[in-house]
Amino acid sequence: MSTIFQSGITAAANSDALFITLNVLPNKETELKAALKQAHTLISEFQQSSPASHPHGVIAIGSEFWDTLSPNARPKELISFPNLPDSPATPADLMLHIRSNRRDMTYQLAQKLMTILSGLVALVEDTSCFRYLDSRDLTGFVDGTENPEGSHRANVALVKKEDDPDFANGSYIHLQRFVHNLDHWKRLALKEQEDIMGRTKEENIEYKSQDKPLTAHTKRASAKDESDQGLEILRHSMPYADLTQAGLLFASYCHTPINFNKMLENMMVGDGSGHTDKLMNYTKAVTGQAFFAPSSHWFENN
């Protein structure tokens, strides 16, 4: 069933995901537009043919590549990934976020999409992700506890018509791949880990605000606007791992890039008094990209 937005933006979490970043080969822009339209249609057809696995796909265009592909109209707030300490910007032209509740279905959809894009793109990176236990990060802590639920997911993730009529129902995406130092992390006592996170490990109970260290992840990764209202993002983050490397593929979807950028600044730059996110002593961001996922209407009319 077709929607006015890409369904993978707001749909509930799956147990399996594949994040693919791509660069477009020179002088392929015209062919690429047709291929992206075909790819968008394929995702919808795949969902209809394999509904039991709840497959979803999101196609997004990189901040640095947008004007090359679509020089006449640009999302109002689409800017480059922030250049901050310990948070590298590694631009890519395209992103495919493919997910389902079966690894084979995720793989099959990815193969079909890459066949459409064959000869037009070069692979930058592909990261296979999985749900770990009861939605925990590989640090052992539950991830995404504060994620929006129900219809509020769309309110957080989708651009509103009154804010940017030409790009309504699209979403600003920020992607980071973190590599965890789990050996270092596991040497910490439980209370040390919990203080770094600002929540208990097994029970997943967030510390009261007054009990959180100023360097706690839950304190530094939150942000407020000028009216002291909390800023939200829709997270689609998932762990990844093999026998040599493990970490988190962090994915933020939002109606504005401001919320993510403020959160990242709070973590990496801190509060001006030297209080940065202590969790960053145990994990390292190795990629950072900004994308925009247009509405279904955009693919059908470009």
Tens of pLDDT, residues 70-107: 999 999 999 999 999 999 999 999 999 999 999 999 99
- The 3-class SS string of 243-299 reads CCCEEEEEEEEECCCHHHHHHHHHHHCCCCCCCCCHHHHCEEECCCEEEEECCHHHH
Task: Dig out the tokens for 123 from the structure.
Answer: 């692979």
pTM above 0.85, yes or no: yes
Beta strands in 121-206 (DSSP E): 121-130, 171-180
Which CATH number is 7-301's, of 1.10.600.10, 3.30.1490.190, 3.40.50.300, 3.30.70.1030?
Answer: 3.30.70.1030
Burial class (CB within 10 angstroms; exposed 0-12, middle 13-18, buried 19+) of 292: buried
Task: Tell me how far apart the alpha carbons of residues 225 and 190 are, in angstroms, rounded to a whole number.
Answer: 33
What is the distance, to the nearest Å, from the Cα of residue 48 to the centroid of all Cα atoms in its chain? 25
Spatial contact of 97 and 13, defined as CB atoms under 8 Å apart: no
Task: Tell me how far apart the alpha carbons of residues 102 and 131 are, in angstroms, rounded to a whole number.
Answer: 11
Task: Dig out the tokens for 4 from the structure.
Answer: 């006015």
Residue 143 among the catalytic residues: yes
Task: Please report, for the chain, the start and end positions of each structural domain, with discontinuous segments joined by +.
Answer: 7-301
Spatial contact of 206 and 144, defined as CB atoms under 8 Å apart: no
Q: Tell me which of 143, 164, 195, 277 is the catalytic residue.
A: 143
Handedness of CA 137, 14, 222, 212 (dihedral sign): negative
pLDDT at 2 over 80: no
User: How many C-beta atoms lie closer than 10 Å to residue 125's C-beta?
Assistant: 17
Amino acid letter, 202: E
In the structure, what pLDDT confidence band is assigned to residue 227 with cuts at 50, 70 and 90? confident
Q: What pLDDT, on a 0 to 100 scale, did the predictor assign at position 226? A: 81
Task: Tell me how far apart the alpha carbons of residues 235 and 221 are, in angstroms, rounded to a whole number.
Answer: 12
Contacts of 162 (CB under 8 A, 6+ apart): none
Q: What pLDDT, on a 0 to 100 scale, did the predictor assign at position 259? A: 98
In the structure, what pLDDT confidence band is assigned to residue 3 with cuts at 50, 70 and 90? low
- Quote the radius of gyration of the chain (alpha carbons, Å): 19
